[in-house]
Amino acid sequence: MTPKPNWRTSSYTSNDSCVEVADNDLEVVRVRDTKDREQGLMALRPASWAHFVKFTKQLPL
């Protein structure tokens, strides 16, 4: 059974660039736009999401 997504936002979220992430499922990480939740979402493999997060942490702020 697929768990209900547990949506959360980053502590780095600002008013003009908000996303929510649900990573409580072992098979998929879901990402959606906080300002337009009904628009749709991205479903990523956990390894792909981990790679993306690692990459973005290396970018200058």
Domain count along the chain:
1
For residue 32, the model assigns a pLDDT of 92
6: which DSSP letter? Answer: -
Let me know if residue 59 belongs to a domain: yes
pTM of the model: 0.81
Per-residue model confidence as pLDDT tens digits over 25-60? 999 999 998 888 889 999 999 999 999 999 988 988
Question: Within 10 A of 61 (CB to CB), how many other CB atoms are there?
Answer: 3
Let me know if residue 54 belongs to a domain: yes
Let me know if residue 42 belongs to a domain: yes
Let me know if residue 31 belongs to a domain: yes
The answer to whether the beta carbons of residues 31 and 42 sit under 8 Å apart is yes
Per-residue model confidence as pLDDT tens digits over 22-32? 999 999 999 99
Let me know if residue 7 belongs to a domain: no
Domain that holds residue 26: 21-61
What tokens were used for 13? 């979220």
For residue 28, the model assigns a pLDDT of 97
